[in-house]
Amino acid sequence: MKHAILLSAVPVDAAMKRYCRPGSFVVACDAGYRNSDCLGVHLNLIVGDFDSAPQPDTDSDTIVLPHVKDDTDTHYAAKWLLENGYTQVTMLGALGGARLEHTIANLSTGLFLAEHGVDVVLADTASEIHYLVPGKDLTLQRGEWQYLSVFPWDGKLIGVDIEGAYYSLHGAELVPDFPLGVSNEFVEPTVTLRCQAGHGIVVLTRAD
């Protein structure tokens, strides 16, 4: 399976190197190229309109985007990866930062990839975000995680099953205006989630 790392502009910690696999294709979105040194990765492609950082002098392939456009730099890069056959994408530098709307936009881009069959993860030092889509079981390893939260992302999340967590669900309905799925916990080595309709985000968090 083809794996790519998508670097956005929020500064990352060196601990995030654990997400960098040998042979992964690395795409930086605009100022995201600044994260490559910390992670020790070579950039295969840089995409951006370079409104948040100067265009770097580099031998990496570069796609310069117009300032006026519908896609964010990260969303354009995600579409490029999808068109080029990448089936696993890890998004780093996409959560947090000074502008909340960028995090929300990146969550939307992650959903776009998940809807098109890509296994996508957004990660920072404290958490990971996965997507729950209809007809596809999501199995997560306990590992270093303590908390597991599930939120509807685009309306009702219908027919939700959660197995292996402290609060199990079977055929439940989650709605955006009642956070029933927050702060569940692993009780088994793995948790499996599924849904019949809707889309959800699943947040894994380390202990406080």
Taking only the tens place, the pLDDT of each residue in 49-77 is: 888 888 888 888 888 888 888 999 999 99
User: Would you say residue 162 has pLDDT above 80?
Assistant: yes
Whether the per-residue pLDDT at 3 is higher than 80: the answer is yes
Do 92 and 154 share a domain, yes or no? no
DSSP 153: S
Answer whether 0.85 is exceeded by the pTM. yes
Distance CA(145)–CA(140), nearest Å, equals 10
pLDDT of 52 reads 82
Residues 106 and 29 in one domain: yes
Task: Indicate if 48 and 34 belong to the same structural domain.
Answer: yes
Domain containing 163 — which CATH number? 3.40.50.10240
- Residues 139 and 39: their CA atoms lie apart, in Å, by 27
The set of residues, in sequence order, having a beta carbon less than 8 Å from that of 153 and lying 6+ positions away, is: 107, 111, 131, 198, 199, 200, 201
The answer on 87 and 14 residing in a single domain is yes
Looking at 77, 94, 125, the residue that finishes a domain is 125
pLDDT digits (tens, 9 = 90+) for 107-151: 999 999 999 999 999 999 999 999 999 999 999 999 999 999 999
| Backbone phi and psi for residue 48, each to the nearest 5 degrees, phi listed first | 170, 165
Which residues constitute the domain of residue 134? 130-205
